[in-house]
Amino acid sequence: MEGTHTMPETVAPAVPPTPPVPLSALLAREDLGLRQIAGPSDPGIVIHWAHTSEMADPYPYLLGGELLLTAGVHVPDAAGSGAYFDDYVSRIVAAGGAALGFGLAPVHDTVPRALVAACDAYQLPLLEVPPQTTFSGVARAVWQLMAQARLAELRRVTEAQRSLASAASRPDPVPSVLRRLAQRVGGWAVLYGPDGTKVAEAGQEPEDAARGALGQLATVVRPVSDTGRAPSSATDTLAGTHLAAYALGTGQGFVLGVATPHREPGDHTIASVAAVLLSLLTGEHHSSAGAARSSALVRLLLGTPPPEVAPLLGAERWVVVHARPEGQAPDAVAASALGAALGSTLVDLADGVVRVLVPADREPAPQPGWALGVSAAVAPGDWPAADAQAARALARARATRTALVRHGNRHALADLVPPGEAETHARALLGPLTATPALTETLRTWLSLHGSWDRTAVALSVHRNTVRQRIARCAALLDADLDDADVRMELWFALRHL
């Protein structure tokens, strides 16, 4: 196969990830008046930015993909009779320059003929920039065209996301998603099973060599065992056909393969969305185990006690995970993807927090971009208590900027006091606060974070002055000195049993 596999951690590309601008689009701008006078006029020629340089050797200053603009200040008087322009153009081509723009006036009235000949010889597009057009105007036009291309690409990706989500809701969701994906990227989409066979496919099937290469690429992202690690995606190119494989997050070995004759900037995002949807469609909730879990959820809603439905859920003990992303609020797709990463389809999204019910034998691990709070392992009857544990653990994780915080479940002195007596004592001690839940939760968080105003404010998503006011109110209602370590210890004991 031509090319190399692209793994999750790769070096940055030589050109930026912004959509390139067709050279023909720049030439079509009447306000610029640019004219191509040498080099190929292939409509596929694109530029990634514009750069001005009057250096005799611009090679060290080019990154590749530029429209290099020059007024010829660097050109010596005798340049036309020697190899100056050949050397100059060859260095631009060697640096990956996409095109050369030569400005008329104030240095040159016409483009040197030797430069035209050199650009034809090295197949470098040469543009004549008229005197009334400034280089900054050309650069601005490039960025305007690039912004328009970016907006069009974003619209394309958004429309594709909606289209794929609609396809996933059809009675035949997997074939529908593959058909819609193939249409959106203009190629072939195939779903490989755990054994490498084709489960479903859609679109224009490529040549035999490309099909075989895509099948081999799928093996790169499929773990060789339950504990094996593999990249989440890989790409390659064969005879002009772009190939990509995406491991589905089901843990069952399914792989999405995509082959396209052209590779647009948004294709990877569109295929990634399709991979997430296919992960959900091929996941455990579509198996017999998933049907049993659906049945268990229905029975819970109809009033069956949790311990009676536990056998249908397939685990005796569970942990509750609360999670929030570091940036924007999560959506349903992100929540489902997190559940898949944690090994569970029991996912709930509300108020910007994702809650996942995970079998205790699937140890939750930190997830990139998320803050996680994990409860102790409990039986189904103790799910509500575990939910509260996970919420407090998440608050601590966010306040301390820790990827994952687990609720402590080791034995403590509190275990020596019968739960009933401890609860009675807690209600009596904290009675003045119970009418205002915000005070109780603020005191609990503040004590857990060792009296830090700033970290408590972060955990509760309030201003630090609000924390100070609430703690002062707690001290007044309890008639207690919250700077006293013994008082803090007793209050913490009571809060744990409230």
208-264 pLDDT tens trace: 888 888 988 888 887 655 445 667 788 888 888 899 999 887 566 789 999 998 888
What pLDDT was estimated at residue 92?
A: 96
What pLDDT was estimated at residue 279?
A: 83
Domain 21-144 CATH superfamily? HprK N-terminal domain-like (3.40.1390.20)
Torsion over CA: 55, 61, 64, 68 (sign)? negative
Counting runs of H as helices and runs of E as strands, what totals does the chain give?
16, 17
For residue 93, report the phi and psi dihedrals to the nearest 5 degrees.
Answer: -65, -40
Domain 413-496 CATH superfamily? PucR C-terminal helix-turn-helix domain (1.10.10.2840)
* Residue given tokens 């772009």 in the structure block: 242
- E-assigned strand segments in 261-413: 318-325, 347-350, 353-359, 370-374, 404-406
What pLDDT was estimated at residue 250?
A: 56
Give me the residues paired with residue 358 across strands: 319
138-173 pLDDT tens trace: 999 999 998 888 888 888 888 888 888 888 877 678
Pair of tokens at residue 65: 């993909």
- Phi and psi based region of residue 369 (left: phi greater than 0; alpha: psi -120 to 50; beta: remaining): left
Pair of tokens at residue 344: 């569970």
What pLDDT was estimated at residue 6?
A: 39
Q: How far apart are CA 385 and CA 343, in angstroms?
A: 22
* Residue given tokens 């205002």 in the structure block: 436
The DSSP element (H or E) to which 66 belongs, if any, is: strand 66-70
49-86 pLDDT tens trace: 999 999 999 999 999 999 999 999 999 887 766 789 99
Q: Which amino acid, one-letter code, is at 154?
A: L
pTM (2 decimals)? 0.46
Of 3.30.450.30, 1.20.120.80, 3.40.50.1100, 1.10.357.10, the CATH number of 170-282 is 3.30.450.30
- Phi and psi based region of residue 303 (left: phi greater than 0; alpha: psi -120 to 50; beta: remaining): left
What pLDDT was estimated at residue 223?
A: 66
What pLDDT was estimated at residue 205?
A: 86
Q: How far apart are CA 309 and CA 313, in angstroms?
A: 7
Segments of the chain with pLDDT less than 70: 1-18, 80-81, 171, 223-230, 250-252, 283-294, 296, 313-315, 333, 409-419
Q: How far apart are CA 149 and CA 156, in angstroms?
A: 10
Give me the residues paired with residue 372 across strands: 323, 404
Pairing of strands 188-192, 126-129: unpaired
Nearest to 132 by CA among 52, 33, 51: 33
